[in-house]
Structure 1
Amino acid sequence: MKISYECGPCFLRQAKEALDLSTDDEALKMEIMGDIFKFLSRNFESGTNSNSTGSAMHKMIIERTGCRDPYYNEKIQGNEIALRYLPEVEKILRDDDSLENYVKISIIGNILDFGAFTLDDDIESVIRQSLKKDLVIKDVEEFENALKTNDKVLYLVDNTGEIVFDKLLLNKIKDYDLDITIAVKSQPILNDATKKEALEAGLDEFGEIVEIGCGTVGYVDSEISQEFREIFNSHKFIISKGMGNYEGLTEIDLQDKDVFFLLCAKCNTISKDIGVNLHDMLLFKR
């Protein structure tokens, strides 16, 4: 997906947060922020890819500060929030074990995103409100048909914390007797899940965990490894979690694939691109 003018302040907010989490050196933060201004002045224009721009900015912060995982504590916090709500969502699924409800719970997990929310946002309140909402776009029938007619699926996970709720959907998918491959980031970026967090959450119970070969904001086709490209190309059925993967996958040709996007629209640029309202929860094929 291409950037909009609203991506500008979002890039700067993320840069400030990542810098504050990476170092206490005020002089270094001033220097790096100045370089980010220069980088954006050269690259922030219509037609620029949003994921590539954000990835380059975060890579700059990581390399200059030497902090390889700025959101380490926030990822722990995300897991703690998800685990706190797990009994509540499991009760909901006992009362209604429909595929749609499993999808909805998985999407609610997508709220745990420190790339879209600020560290001061009341994320727990957003989760409580979302539990009462319905999916705005719900291609559930097509999704279930894909589960029934394919023998394997590639599941692109998104955030730590969110993956706790992904486990519930993955367990439901196992009922359809598919081989599941679970794709994670190779290096830390924001609060995205790496293999370490995926293993800690127990995702390997449901399928093989593979790395995409890079640590980028969402999916960046030019950055993935050849090994993962072969895995990606071998799958017709793909489940894509989160906004970052949506932004990246809509940049490439998916004509021969059944790709289902599961996400919460957490920014105006994404909302406008899809044609929904802010904070709407969606399951759609595109």
Structure 2
Amino acid sequence: MKIEYDCIPCIYRQVLEASRMAVGENRKIIRDILNEYARMIPDITDDDSAPEIVTRIQNYIKQKTGKDDIYLEFKEKNIKAAQQYYPTIEKLVKSSEDPLLSALIMSAVGNSIDAGVSLNVDIEDNVKRAIENGFSHSDYPFFKEQLSNANSILIIADNAGEAVFDKLLIQELLKYKVTLTYAVRDKPILNDVTRKEAKNIGIDRYCSLISSGCDTPGIVLKNSSKEFLQIFSNADIIISKGQGNLEGLLDESRPIFYLLKIKCDVIAKRLNGGLKTGNFVFKYY
């Protein structure tokens, strides 16, 4: 998905947040980082995607501050919070009329834990609202139809906190006797889950775990590894989690199920169907 002009100030806010997380209130370093982003803006082309721009400036922040994993403490905090809710959500999912649908909804709730939009995340509130409202758009019936004939599924992971809830989705999908692969980020970028964190959460106990090869906060196929591209091309079903992955993949020809919380009007408009910011979505595109 090509970058929109509305993305530019959103990335600016993210750059400011990341800078403060890295150096506190060191105004000189923060100013240097903001100036660097400002210098980048004239070079942004209509062919760029938001994940690519974010990667360029985040790599500069890492270089400038000497911190390779700026969001480490934020990720650890949200993983811990998600783990505290996990037993309750597991019970809710397994006792529901349709555990797979419930697991998909809870996996989307986990997508609310996103530093790309806000560092202030109320997990409990997001869980309550998701249970009450469910998906604003759901292609679940078609997904079930596809699942009945599928042999392999690729889940493209997003942030570290939501990976805790993804375990429930993985367990439900495995009941359909499919081969399941879970793709994570190759290097730390924003609060996206890496292989190390996925292993600590225990994802690898349920399915195959691979790195996408990307260091972008969202899959960009031209930057992905051969291993990932092969699995991406051959999987019977792909579930892409989060807005960053959607931004990286939406213009690709491969049909994908997108599972996310819409976090800005740009994405709501692009997905059509009267969707709004804040909606939980499971959409085949």
Q: Tell me, which stretches of 5 or more residues in structure 2 are unaligned?
A: none
**Does 1:277 find its partner at 2:276?**
yes
Structure 2 matches for 1:189-268, cutoff 5 A?
189-254=189-254, 258-268=255-265
Partner of 1:153: 153
**In the alignment, what sits opposite 2:70?**
70
**Contact 1:108/1:131 (CA < 8 Å) preserved in 2?**
no
Spell out, residue by residue over 1:104-140, the C-alpha distance to the aligned partner (whole angstroms, 9 max, x if none).
11111111111112x2454543333233212111111
1:18 is aligned to 2:9: no
- Correspondence for 1:116: 117
Q: Deviations over 1:64-90 (max 9, x none)?
A: 222100000000111122112223312
Maintained 8 Å contact 1:159/1:193: yes
Cα distance in structure 2, aligned partners of 1:168 and 1:22: 33
Q: 1:108 to 1:74 in 2, by over 3 A?
A: same
1:136 aligns with 2:133: no
**Does the 8 Å CA contact 2:106/2:130 hold for their aligned counterparts?**
no
Q: 124-133 vs 54-63, which deviates more?
A: 124-133
Which residue is 1:2 aligned to?
Answer: 2
Name the CA distance, whole Å, in 2 between partners of 1:223 and 1:59.
15
Is the 1:111–1:127 contact (alpha carbons within 8 Å) kept by the matching residues of 2? no
For the 8 Å contact 2:106–2:127, the answer to whether it is kept is no
With the length of structure 2 as denominator, give the TM-score of the two structures.
0.93
Distance 2:155 2:121 in 1: 28
Give the aligned CA root-mean-square deviation in angstroms. 1.6
Tell me the distance in 1 between the aligned counterparts of 2:21 and 2:85: 26
Q: Deviations over 1:15-74 (max 9, x none)?
A: 01111112244322211211110101321x545322211221211211222210000000
User: Which residue of structure 1 aligns with residue 52 of structure 2?
Assistant: 52
2:159 partner SS:
coil
CA distance in 2, matches of 1:121, 1:206: 28
Deviation digits for residues 162-214 of structure 1 (CA, Å, limit 9, x no counterpart): 01110001000010000111100010001000000100111012211001112
- Give the share of equivalent positions with the same residue, in percent: 32
TM-score (norm 1): 0.93
Residues 86, 123 of structure 1: alpha-carbon distance in 2 compared, 3 angstrom cutoff = closer
Secondary structure at 2:133 match in 1: coil
The answer for the alignment partner of 2:102 in structure 1 is 101
Moved more, 32-41 or 22-31: 22-31
Distance 2:94 2:202 in 1: 21
Segments of structure 1 that go 5 or more residues without pairing to the other structure are none
